[in-house]
């Protein structure tokens, strides 16, 4: 199963996301759900880095990617948020079509004293 997680601040600005796992919908190399999930991520990261010019910190491994925006300014950039929210919407659409192969979760952090001090954390499963 693919697990997509999006982290956002109290203002609903997404600043980090991860995608982990394999869909298991089809055979390796011909799994359309994995292909769609990968295309969404690569298009978003390419849009952020190549089109908007935001350096995104990404860690990748087989079947895993974790990406985080570098600073507060980029988190509030409307173009950045459009791309990240479109990515989340794409995963939510995949989940509706393939509910046994993908989960989508959004974690909203309540912060006090800036981004470095987490006061409270709660999560909401997106449908």
CATH number at residue 120: 3.30.70.1490
Q: What is the pLDDT of residue 124?
A: 34
Each residue's pLDDT tens digit, 37-95: 999 999 999 999 999 999 899 999 988 999 999 876 667 789 999 999 999 999 999 99
Smallest CA-to-CA distance from 66 within 4, 109, 115 is with: 4
Number of domains in the chain: 1
Determine which helix (DSSP H) or strand (DSSP E) holds 104, and give its type and residue range: strand 102-111
Each residue's pLDDT tens digit, 9-35: 999 999 999 999 999 999 988 999 999
Other CB atoms within a 10 A radius of the CB of residue 83 amount to 20
Residue of 106 and 116 predicted with greater confidence: 106
Range of the domain at 56: 2-125
Q: What is the pLDDT of residue 72?
A: 64
- Given a cut of 60, whether residue 116 has pLDDT beyond it is no
Q: What is the pLDDT of residue 63?
A: 85
């Amino acid at each position: 199963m693919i697990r997509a997680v999006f982290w956002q601040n109290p203002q609903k600005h997404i600043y980090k996301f991860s995608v982990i796992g394999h869909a298991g919908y089809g055979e390796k190399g011909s799994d359309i759900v994995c292909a769609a999930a990968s295309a969404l991520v690569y298009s978003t990261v390419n849009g952020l880095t190549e089109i908007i010019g935001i350096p995104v910190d990404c860690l990748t491994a087989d079947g895993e990617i974790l990406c985080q925006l570098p600073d507060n300014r980029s988190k509030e950039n409307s173009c950045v948020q459009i791309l990240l929210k479109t990515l989340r919407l794409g995963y939510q659409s995949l989940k509706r079509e393939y509910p046994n192969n993908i989960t989508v979760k959004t974690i909203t952090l309540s912060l006090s004293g800036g981004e470095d001090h987490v006061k409270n954390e709660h999560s909401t499963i997106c449908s």
